[in-house]
Amino acid sequence: MKIQPLADRVLIEPAAAEEKTIGGIIIPDTAKEKPLQGTVVAVGHGTKDEEMVLKAGDTVLYGKYAGTELEHEGKKYLIMRQSDVVAVLA
Amino acid sequence: MKIQPLADRVLIEPAAAEEKTIGGIIIPDTAKEKPLQGTVVAVGHGTKDEEMVLKAGDTVLYGKYAGTELEHEGKKYLIMRQSDVVAVLA
Amino acid sequence: MKIQPLADRVLIEPAAAEEKTIGGIIIPDTAKEKPLQGTVVAVGHGTKDEEMVLKAGDTVLYGKYAGTELEHEGKKYLIMRQSDVVAVLA
Amino acid sequence: MKIQPLADRVLIEPAAAEEKTIGGIIIPDTAKEKPLQGTVVAVGHGTKDEEMVLKAGDTVLYGKYAGTELEHEGKKYLIMRQSDVVAVLA
Amino acid sequence: MKIQPLADRVLIEPAAAEEKTIGGIIIPDTAKEKPLQGTVVAVGHGTKDEEMVLKAGDTVLYGKYAGTELEHEGKKYLIMRQSDVVAVLA
Amino acid sequence: MKIQPLADRVLIEPAAAEEKTIGGIIIPDTAKEKPLQGTVVAVGHGTKDEEMVLKAGDTVLYGKYAGTELEHEGKKYLIMRQSDVVAVLA
Amino acid sequence: MKIQPLADRVLIEPAAAEEKTIGGIIIPDTAKEKPLQGTVVAVGHGTKDEEMVLKAGDTVLYGKYAGTELEHEGKKYLIMRQSDVVAVLA
């Protein structure tokens, strides 16, 4: 079974987390959030207001708190609105 | 008697809850909510701004706090706006 | 005298409350509100943005906190926007 | 001098208050506000988004906290947007 | 030099305050604000969304907290959006 | 180098502050903010929703907290949306 | 690999910070934020509502808290909506 995002949502497989902390508290140098990286797995059909520009296979950057987590057939995904994706790596 | 959702709402029969906790507090690894799964039972006629793409029988994922609970003829349902459904399993 | 709702409002006669509590506090199993049932008594003429689909006589479900209470000739009514009605029983 | 409401506002003369309390605190049975009754004295010319359907002489119901109080030539009025009027008695 | 309000703003010369308090605290009988009276001195050219219906010389009523105070050549004015004017006395 | 405001923003050189306080706390007679005066130095090209009516050289009034401060070649400026300018002195 | 901003976003390489503090707390003379300077590296394709006017190479000013930080191939960038850029230096 395949997950088909609705409207202007995209399904993203997050890249393996690289940011590890070894036994300590990290004091960030700024309050700004760094976006995370992932791969688009499926996209919705868009809406009147939001045409889809992303496609499956795109490597994307998205905000740390963007989207909703989702587990499907043992894998973790994120589903979010296309407008929460800030950039594509091309 | 049949429940006919109004406007861009959908009536969903939630899947049997799978997430059980045996005598303990679950400490979630992230603050992100996992969507739940259910089956669309009936859909509204849409609005000027929201055309209906879901139909009865669709298996859908929706946010944990989406919609309003509803009991009808001994069964539990959820009624929510189509835009609160994040994906369909196809 | 008859109450004519304005714009996209509907006048609803709530069904007799069925949820009684006998000397005790109810601890709801979820935080979600259950909609209540009533009968549409009169509807407004709609607005540019909201066409009326409900009509007098419809049995409807609406959110627990929807609308404004109203007493008229000894009877209790609720007046609310059509968009606060979640479903019609048909 | 006559008060001419601007835009989509209506000028209302409130009906004499009927709800009196004699030496006591009223514990309302619900948290919902009951609308009050009044008579439309003058209406604005409407706006692009809101056509006027009320006219002088209409008996209307409006929310308890709707509008702004106004004293003019010794009489008390309320001025509010037409959309704050919930129903007309006809 | 003349003050020309921008967009849908109007320049108002407030009427002399009539509400005086002699050595005491006023306990208002309701929490509703009474509008104040003034004379329109100049109006903007309007916007796409708001056509000007007020003109210089109009006696108007406006909310107590509407607009921004302004001193010009020793006189006090208020500048506010036309939509903050609730009525004109005609 | 010249600062070119984007969209519907204007660049303003504030007039020399006239409101000085000598060794004391000012207790304002009202809570309303008085607008400040300045000279438009450059304007953006406008947007679909906001046509530019201000031009370089205009003497304008703007809210005390409007805009963003900016230092350029030793001079202080404010950059703000045209809609934050309340009036022009003409 | 190249970062391609989505929609109406721009990728900015911040100018080297000039505001240093040597062993002390800075007490700003006003509460207003000063914009920072940077160079546009890449721009999105715009949206229906926001046409792109910025282009790669533009020197721009932007609010201190605008955008999201991003590290790519050892360099720090900011990605923000074009509307968060307040001016271009030309």
- Would you say residue C37 has pLDDT above 70? yes
Cβ–Cβ below 8 Å for A85 and G45: no
**Stronger pLDDT, A41 or C28, i.e. the higher one:** A41
Q: Tell the CATH topology of D1-16+33-82.
A: 10 Kd Chaperonin, Protein Cpn10; Chain O (2.30.33)
* pLDDT for the residue numbered G49: 87
D74: left (phi over 0), alpha (psi -120 to 50) or beta: left
The C-alpha R_g of chain B, in whole angstroms, comes to 14
Grouping H, G, I as helix, E, B as strand and the rest as coil, residue C83 is helix
* pLDDT for the residue numbered D77: 95
Cβ–Cβ below 8 Å for B48 and C53: no
Cβ–Cβ below 8 Å for A48 and B49: yes
Mean pLDDT in residue range C7-24:
74
The residue of chain E with its CA nearest to that of F84 is E6
* pLDDT for the residue numbered E4: 97
How would you write the pLDDT of chain D (90 residues) with one tens digit per residue?
899 999 999 999 999 865 444 454 444 445 456 789 999 999 999 998 899 999 999 999 998 889 999 888 889 999 999 999 999 998
Distance from the Cα of residue D44 to its chain's centroid: 14
Beta strands (DSSP E) in D1-90 are: 3-5, 9-14, 36-43, 59-62, 68-72, 75-81, 85-89
Among E30, E59, E86, the residue with its CB nearest the CB of D9 is E86
- Would you say residue C53 has pLDDT above 50? yes
Low-confidence ranges of chain B (pLDDT < 50): 19-22, 24-29, 31
pLDDT class for E23, splitting at 50, 70, 90? low
F63 touches chain E (CB under 8 A): yes
What is the distance between the alpha carbons of residues C5 and D53, in angstroms, rounded to a whole number?
A: 11
- Please list, residue by residue across B45-77, b when 16 or more beta carbons sit within 10 angstroms of its beta carbon and e when fewer do: eebeebebbbeeebebbbbeebbbbbebeeeeb
Cβ–Cβ below 8 Å for E86 and D6: yes
* pLDDT for the residue numbered F83: 94
Q: In the complex, which subunits touch G with 3 or more CB pairs below 8 angstroms?
A: A, F
- Would you say residue F18 has pLDDT above 70? no
Cβ–Cβ below 8 Å for G70 and A85: no
Chain E positions touching D69 (Cβ under 8 A) are: 30, 32-34
Question: What CA–CA distances, in Å, run from E35 to D69, D70, E17, E65?
Answer: 7, 6, 12, 9
Q: In the complex, which subunits touch B with 3 or more CB pairs below 8 angstroms?
A: A, C
Cβ–Cβ below 8 Å for D70 and E87: yes
What is the distance between the alpha carbons of residues E61 and B28, in angstroms, rounded to a whole number?
A: 57
A90 touches chain G (CB under 8 A): yes
Contact A47/A81 with Cβ under 8 angstroms?
no
Going E9 to E11 to E17 to E21, the CA torsion angle's sign is positive
Which ipTM was obtained for this model?
Answer: 0.77
Chain A positions touching G6 (Cβ under 8 A) are: 53-54, 82-83, 85-88
What is the distance between the alpha carbons of residues G4 and G9, in angstroms, rounded to a whole number?
A: 9
Chain A positions touching G67 (Cβ under 8 A) are: 32
* pLDDT for the residue numbered B17: 61
pTM over 0.80: no
- Would you say residue F55 has pLDDT above 90? yes
Q: In the complex, which subunits touch E with 3 or more CB pairs below 8 angstroms?
A: D, F
Q: Between vectors from CA B28 to CA B14 and to CA A74, what angle results, nearest 5°? A: 65
Beta strands (DSSP E) in C15-84 are: 36-43, 59-62, 68-72, 75-81
Mean pLDDT in residue range A44-64:
93
- List the domain boundaries for chain G: 1-16+33-82
What is the distance between the alpha carbons of residues C3 and B87, in angstroms, rounded to a whole number?
A: 43
G82 — phi, psi (to 5°)?
Answer: -55, -35
Long-range Cβ pairs for the range D65-71 (8 Å, 24+): D65/D33, D65/E32, D67/D12, D67/E32, D68/E32, D68/E33, D68/E34, D68/E35, D68/E63, D68/E86, D69/E30, D69/E32, D69/E33, D69/E34, D70/D3, D70/D11, D70/E34, D70/E35, D70/E61, D70/E86, D70/E87, D71/E34
Cβ–Cβ below 8 Å for C2 and D90: yes
Q: What is the β-pairing status of strands G36-43 and G59-62?
A: antiparallel
Cβ–Cβ below 8 Å for C35 and B68: yes
